[in-house]
Amino acid sequence: MLVASACAPGSTTAEQITPRLMVRASLEGTAAVPTERRIKAKESALAAVKDSATLASGMESEIGAVPMSSSTASARCPAEMALVDDRVCVDRWEGALVEVTPSGERPWSPYDPIDGNERRVRAVSWQGVIPQGYISGRQAKLACAASGKRLCTSEEWVSACRGPDDTTFPYGALRQQGVCNDDERRVHPVAEIAALLDIKPEERWTTAMNNPLINQLSQALLPTGERAGCTNAYGVFDMVGNLHEWVDDPSGTFRGGYFMDTARNGEGCKYATTAHSFGYHDYSTGFRCCMDPEQAD
């Protein structure tokens, strides 16, 4: 049993890591636990994350489901997309992935990077599922293209985020704490997982940034659309907080902030990070897709 005092004050114990889609991470490990047992516990936790069959129990019902739509968008955009500025279709929800196999499609774990599997997945936009983190801009662009879509330009993304009223936040001009998933949990998730897994301090902000357990912590990443007020009249959700979202910039830009920060690089819809290459990814990087609408009659 993991001793709570082994973690930073206010942090989550191993028993409290409850993945949203029925993937249970059972971690054990303190100085009092034999090294061999701790290694086996960590391997078990990682195996659980990669168990796509278990993950599918929470997502497979979404395949083939018809997302919500509006009469305005349905004529010119797919049902899972909103018509923005009468000129672009934008995914209503942050992107998730499905793996395309000879026998059909199955959900890809949102906690698992797709390195080396880029041609096996495509993007989907579903309500109520954990969105895909751990994805680079280059990978997101390929995933959108595989679904007949594309990454949004920065201008398109900002227009969708600010809504028809052109506000700093999707819901209005002033920040309202907790309307979007921007709560900034007390203990940084990377530091928490590093403590749980005895990751060396020098590796904490490098290799540990893609640990699949990070986005499974409580008070962190949420299912798409869970913060129902984080939207605007276009009907797009979670454009501030939850996950950073890549836009189509070969130099590397993601927007909107994530669950730990929606202010350091600009307030709300103004938020933009340009410090990383288009091939970079970590637990906080996500995406959504755009496409051109059908021509109006």
Q: Do 43 and 121 reside in the same domain of the chain?
A: no
**Do residues 102 and 64 both lie within one domain?**
yes
| CATH number of the CATH domain containing 138 | 3.90.1580
What pLDDT shows up at residue 45? 44
Cite the DSSP H helix spans in the chain. 35-49, 52-59, 71-74, 137-146, 154-162, 189-196
My answer on whether 275 and 159 are in the same domain is: yes
165 and 124 in a common domain: yes
Question: At which of 174, 194, 216 does a domain end?
Answer: 216
Domain contains 296: no
CA-to-CA distance for 263 and 243, rounded, in angstroms?
13
Verify that 204 and 135 share a domain, yes or no. no
Q: Which pair of tokens denotes residue 93?
A: 């929800």
Rounded distance, CA 159 to CA 43, Å? 44
Q: Is residue 147 part of a domain?
A: yes
In a domain? residue 98: yes
Does residue 199 lie within any of the structural domains? yes
Query: Is 204 a member of any domain?
Result: yes
Angle at 283 between CA 281 and CA 284, to 5 degrees: 85
Task: Kindly state whether residues 14 and 156 are assigned to the same domain.
Answer: no
Residues of the chain with pLDDT under 70: 1-74, 297
Residue 297 lies in a domain: no
Q: Considering 165, 198, 216, which residue would you say is the last residue of a domain?
A: 216
Give yes or no: residues 129 and 192 share one domain. Answer: no
| Structural domain for 36, as ranges | 4-49+186-216
Q: Quick one: pLDDT at residue 59?
A: 55
pLDDT attached to residue 75:
83
DSSP, collapsed to helix, strand or coil, labels residue 123 as strand
pLDDT at 27 (0 to 100): 31
Q: Which amino acid is at 56?
A: A
**What is the β-pairing status of strands 150-151 and 244-246?**
unpaired
150 in a structural domain? yes
pLDDT at 137 (0 to 100): 98
Each residue of 96-118: pLDDT tens digit? 999 999 999 999 999 999 999 99
Give the chain's domain count: 2
Based on the domain organization, do 20 and 72 belong to the same domain? no
In a shared domain, residues 110 and 196: no
Q: How many CB atoms lie within 10 A of CB 160?
A: 27
Position 14 in a domain: yes
Same domain flag for 271 and 190: no
Task: Looking at the structure, tell me whether residues 202 and 164 fall in a common domain.
Answer: no
72 and 204 within one domain? no
CA distance to 108, 176, 244, 268, 293, per residue, from 259 (Å): 22, 14, 9, 12, 31
